[in-house]
Amino acid sequence: MSEELYERMAQSIIEGEKEIAVELATKAIELNIHPLDAIAKGFVVGVNYIGDQFGKGEAFLPELVMAGEAMKAAVGVLEPELLKLGEARETLGRVVLATVEGDIHEIGKTLVGTMLSASGFEVTDLGVDQPAEKIIGKAIEIDAQIIGMSALLTTTMIRQREVIEELDKEGLRPRIKVMVGGAPITKSWAEKINADGTAEDAMGAVQLAKKLVGKE
């Protein structure tokens, strides 16, 4: 039963059918399917497929845009459920989260923010296309323990390094820890740019953030 639902979820994203995606996300909640399963086993399968097709030149920008919109809408339905499931009792720390300058991919970053909030972090999500000075300025303003940066493009990954270099220059590390993520981000990239860590998905991001504030 859930297998069939997951397949329909993926298909709704591939076809860019926002309303159907929302309907299926709502159905998953009614059926008590864990929202992270609905995202990972259903919707993400679809968005990865269309991303691959786009990469091979077999799908085009309008299809990518429609898939992105359907994905965002479905995840938007599931996010409040993720927050409800969270067992947050104490505040674990303050996190400034952003997608780096020049990059407007927001779905994964927002999901990471939701999971961090559900786990007890106070998250200030600056949104997408955020320059280094804004990210660092906000971290100083709210006395954040962690800066989290997402980048989905190989051309914008470099911005993560710029923020880290600026933090180092201003003597703000190791007080402020930096975690990086996004589809092209690897462990070796994180090490190369001297980040404090990376995670492949939102659950991994929560584990890493807990480790960084010493609350594993």
CA distance 203 to 169: 31
Bridge-based pairing of strands 121-125 and 93-99 is parallel
Instruction: Spell out the alpha helix ranges (H) of the chain.
Output: 2-14, 18-30, 35-37, 44-55, 61-85, 107-118, 132-142, 158-169, 187-192, 202-212
Using CB atoms, what's the residue nearest to ligand B1M? 108
Closest distance to ligand B1M from the beta carbon of 74 (Å)? 10
- Least Cα distance to 146 among 163, 129, 131 occurs for 163
In this complex, which beta carbon is closest to ligand B1M, that of residue 5 or of residue 183? 183
Q: With respect to ligand B1M, which residue has the nearer C-beta, 5 or 40?
A: 40
CB of 136 to ligand B1M, least distance (A): 15
| Cβ at position 4, least distance to ligand B1M in Å | 22
- State the burial class of residue 124 (Cβ atoms within 10 Å of its Cβ: 0-12, 13-18, 19+): middle
Q: Closer to ligand B1M by CB, 111 or 167: give it.
A: 111
Task: Give least dist CB 39 to ligand B1M, A.
Answer: 7
Positions in the binding site for ligand B1M (CB under 6 A) = 44, 47-48, 50-52, 54-55, 61, 64-65, 67-68, 71-72, 102-109, 111-112, 148-150, 152-154, 179-183, 199, 201-202, 205
